[in-house]
Amino acid sequence: MCSRPPASLTRPSGLSAWWSELKMIGIFAFYLGCNFVVIVIPAVAYAAWLGDAVSRGLLALALVDYAVPLRPGRPWVAWCELTRVAEGIRSYFDAECVIEGDFRRDRSHLIVSHPHGLFGAGYGLYAHELRERFGMKPLFTGADVWWGMTMVSAAPLRRALSQPWPYNAVQLQPGGIAEMFYGTDCEQIILSKRKGLCRVALQTGASLIYTRWFGPHSLAARLSSVLRTSLVGWSGRWGVPFSPLPVRGKLVIVLGAPIEVPRTESPTDDEVDALHARYVCDLRDLFERNKGRMGAEWVAARGSLLLEDEAPGEASARHSGPPARAKVE
């Protein structure tokens, strides 16, 4: 297991910590602001109709952005460096990143993260550490083209996973927007019916990396998922509504050892089910191995990992013994 942070990411202190956290908050504010463009556009359109030149320019830019097809590809390294927030995350959250396995250059990697968060703080930390330790540049399926964004449907994912090293890693959050509304009272994720990721892994031969974030939860309430954007109501630090300051607390990100997956161009439903069962089993094991890093009080309050179709009592009875491992040939 490799859990010691690289020398380039020692926890900042003093003025360096202040600047790193300020930069992190600025990037978070920018990211969150992008999700509210759909609300701002009507106001901009109205101002443009009244004759405001700046609003007309912004509206034209929005129309061009909507009309031009998204062209996902490799991340723009200079942009990723400019917007790097790993040091701020480590300082602000007292964050820890644990990587339990090695990442081979001759295999693609599908890094599956749970749960879906509002700020994406976990990705900002472990993407940096993957680059520092293994030279990888994982694509993020949910930010911006400059960050290497790709669509989350099967065909774009397969194309992304076919890229050569160091771009042959894709980060995916299968719980989606809906998962933000789970786990407020317990550790619960959406995974039971998310089997498409296993089918893509089999079709591409990509290793599956199960990733779990342990940490503070924002107080979120649903506004809308109809627009297919992360449009939610939330309160951040000190209970301030719509704050770019996340709740401060300990954050632990753990990447499990890669599950080696054989390439199968046309996997059967049984093969997909077997890989999914193995994935769920390994993710539960990872949770049990690492939950103690959050402290005894956290374990007492949130010490069981539930899927979306499980109630606390039901899950405890179902998983009271050692979980059976499904075999993936």
Whether 268 is covered by a domain: the verdict is yes
pTM: 0.73
pLDDT reported for residue 144: 47
Mean per-residue pLDDT, 296-307: 84
pLDDT > 70 in the chain, percent: 65
**Domain total of the chain:** 1
pLDDT digits 0-9 by tens, 139-188: 543 344 555 556 667 888 888 888 888 778 888 888 877 777 665 567 88
pLDDT reported for residue 74: 61
The boundaries of the domain holding residue 141 are: 7-35+69-318
pLDDT digits 0-9 by tens, 41-75: 788 888 888 888 888 887 887 777 666 655 555 66
* Position 28 pLDDT exceeds 50: yes
Better-predicted residue by pLDDT, 237 or 315: 237
Task: Write out the H or E segment, with its range, that includes residue 276.
Answer: helix 269-290
Whether 51 is covered by a domain: the verdict is no
Omega of the bond leading into 115 within 30 degrees of 0 (cis): yes
Kindly report which listed range (6-10, 33-37, 278-282) carries the lowest average pLDDT score: 6-10
The whole-angstrom separation of Cα 302 and Cα 187 is 6
**207: β partners:** 109
Whether 60 is covered by a domain: the verdict is no
Cα dihedral angle (147, 259, 230, 302), rounded to 10 degrees?
-130
Q: Are strands 219-224 and 139-140 parallel, antiparallel or unpaired?
A: unpaired
Whether 22 is covered by a domain: the verdict is yes
The whole-angstrom separation of Cα 32 and Cα 12 is 25
Count CB atoms within 10 A of the CB of residue 253: 25
* Position 6 pLDDT exceeds 90: no
* Position 202 pLDDT exceeds 80: yes
Whether 188 is covered by a domain: the verdict is yes
Count CB atoms within 10 A of the CB of residue 281: 17
| DSSP codes joined into one string, 46-114 | HHHHTT-HHHHHHHHHHHHHHHSPP---S--HHHHHHT--HHHHHHHHT-EEEE-S---TTS-EEEEEE
Better-predicted residue by pLDDT, 292 or 318: 292
pLDDT reported for residue 25: 81
Whether 131 is covered by a domain: the verdict is yes
**Most confident residue range from 28-37, 191-200, 238-247:** 191-200
Q: Which of 231, 226, 253, 251 is nearest to 242 (CA)?
A: 231
Q: What CA–CA distances, in Å, run from 37 to 60, 136, 185? A: 14, 31, 31
Phi, psi of 307 (to 5 degrees): -90, 170
* Position 308 pLDDT exceeds 70: yes
pLDDT reported for residue 219: 39
What residues contact 134, with CB distance under 8 A and at least 6 apart? Answer: 102, 103, 166
